[in-house]
């Protein structure tokens, strides 16, 4: 499954209609095999023949677009895959962060939960429109000024193919696994001094629970580096992850359930009409905490089981 041919074919199949995949799979593999055998007969090594055959076929995303008869008019086929990947990244990662920050700031600013949700919806729509428009506009200008994909450092080679294998933590996943605990630590410290006139969280917990949670978040960063260097998911990784999840989410759930999580003075300053702010915040945070813990433990357990069984990463849509 880690051969260049398998990775090339699977990458191409991601972007073609599901009903066409079986036929395209056979056709593409046969074409590659013929090209490779011809090169091997001419004296090339098999590895070199495979790489050159894939280079001749080109970027599998562009090949898939030709199979699916998709045309990129505003942005040409050379820059289209780069534009698509950047836009997906902006909408799936940056947009949720922006909306979450706006909603939290609005709640902390005037304490109106309904208005904060409405603001979040408006900001989500406006930000998404701006992201799509300006990203597309920039790439359209690049297309018409002769900037090629290779000028952006995006020239395709077989080495660019994703690895369809279970059990590898990518550098991007490692970065995300370290950044989020760091951001939580920063937010935990800053809420004590900056966000509002009164700390959002109970300052009495600085005697033990907040430093304890910071220590667990540091261990989460160490765990991420350990998994990355280990290079595989396993039952040991699952056990360590489950232990860290219990160490972090257990106290959070207990503090929420005993109404010791939020600062009583901050809660008294919130005006949500007839709704009880403490009750609403506690319920929402408890749901997030329980679902977050279950998802965290379950996700790693599934990855470890797939790695144990030698299952590759599935192709989206199949």
Quote the pLDDT of residue 215. Answer: 96
Domain ranges of the chain: 4-67, 80-147, 165-309
Which residues neighbour 50 within 8 Å (Cβ) at sequence distance 6 or greater? 3, 4, 5, 32, 36, 158
Nearest to 254 by CA among 196, 280, 293: 293
The per-residue pLDDT of the chain, averaged, comes to 81
Worst-scoring range by mean pLDDT, 37-51, 166-180, 189-203? 166-180
Most confident of 12-21, 172-181, 206-215, 285-294: 206-215
Cα separation, 94 vs 132, in Å, equals 12
Crossing angle for the helix pair 235-257 and 277-309, to the nearest 10 degrees: 170
Structure tokens at 216: 């667990």
Q: How do residues 30-45 score in pLDDT, each as one tens digit?
A: 999 999 999 999 888 9
Quote the pLDDT of residue 180. Answer: 86
Quote the pLDDT of residue 316. Answer: 47
Residue 165, pLDDT above cutoff 50: yes
Q: What mean pLDDT is predicted for residues 303-308?
A: 78
Q: How do residues 248-269 score in pLDDT, each as one tens digit?
A: 999 999 999 999 999 898 888 8
Residue 110 pLDDT grade (very low, low, confident, very high; cuts 50, 70, 90): low
Structure tokens at 218: 């540091």
Residue 246, pLDDT above cutoff 90: yes
Residue 81, pLDDT above cutoff 70: yes
Better-predicted residue by pLDDT, 309 or 84: 84
């Amino acid at each position: 499954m880690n051969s260049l041919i398998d990775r090339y074919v699977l990458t191409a199949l991601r972007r073609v209609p599901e009903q066409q995949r079986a036929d395209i799979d056979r056709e593409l593999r046969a074409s590659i095999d013929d090209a490779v055998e011809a090169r091997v007969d001419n004296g090339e090594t098999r590895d070199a023949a495979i790489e050159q055959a894939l280079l001749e076929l080109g970027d599998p995303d562009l090949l898939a677009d030709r199979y699916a008869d998709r045309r990129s008019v505003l942005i040409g086929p050379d820059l289209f895959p780069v534009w698509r990947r950047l836009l997906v990244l902006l909408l799936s990662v940056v947009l949720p962060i922006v909306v979450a920050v706006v909603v939290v700031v609005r709640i902390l600013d005037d304490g109106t939960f309904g208005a904060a949700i409405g603001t979040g919806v408006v900001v989500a729509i406006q930000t998404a429109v701006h992201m799509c428009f300006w990203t597309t506009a920039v790439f359209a200008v690049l297309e018409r000024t002769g900037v090629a994909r290779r000028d952006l450092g995006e020239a395709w080679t077989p080495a660019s193919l994703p690895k369809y294998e279970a059990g590898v933590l990518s550098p991007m996943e490692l970065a995300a696994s370290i950044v989020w605990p760091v951001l939580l630590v920063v937010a935990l410290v800053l809420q004590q001094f900056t966000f509002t006139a009164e700390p959002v969280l109970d300052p009495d917990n600085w005697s033990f629970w907040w430093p304890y949670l910071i220590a667990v978040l540091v261990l989460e960063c160490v765990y991420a580096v350990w998994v990355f260097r280990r290079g595989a998911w396993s039952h040991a990784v699952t056990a360590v992850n489950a232990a860290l999840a219990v160490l972090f989410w257990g106290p959070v759930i207990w503090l929420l359930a005993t109404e010791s999580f939020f600062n009583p003075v901050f809660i008294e300053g919130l005006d949500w009409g007839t709704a009880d702010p403490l009750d609403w915040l506690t319920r929402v945070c408890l749901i997030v905490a329980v679902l977050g813990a279950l998802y965290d433990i379950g996700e790693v357990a599934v990855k470890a089981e797939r790695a144990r069984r030698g299952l590759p990463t599935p192709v989206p849509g199949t």
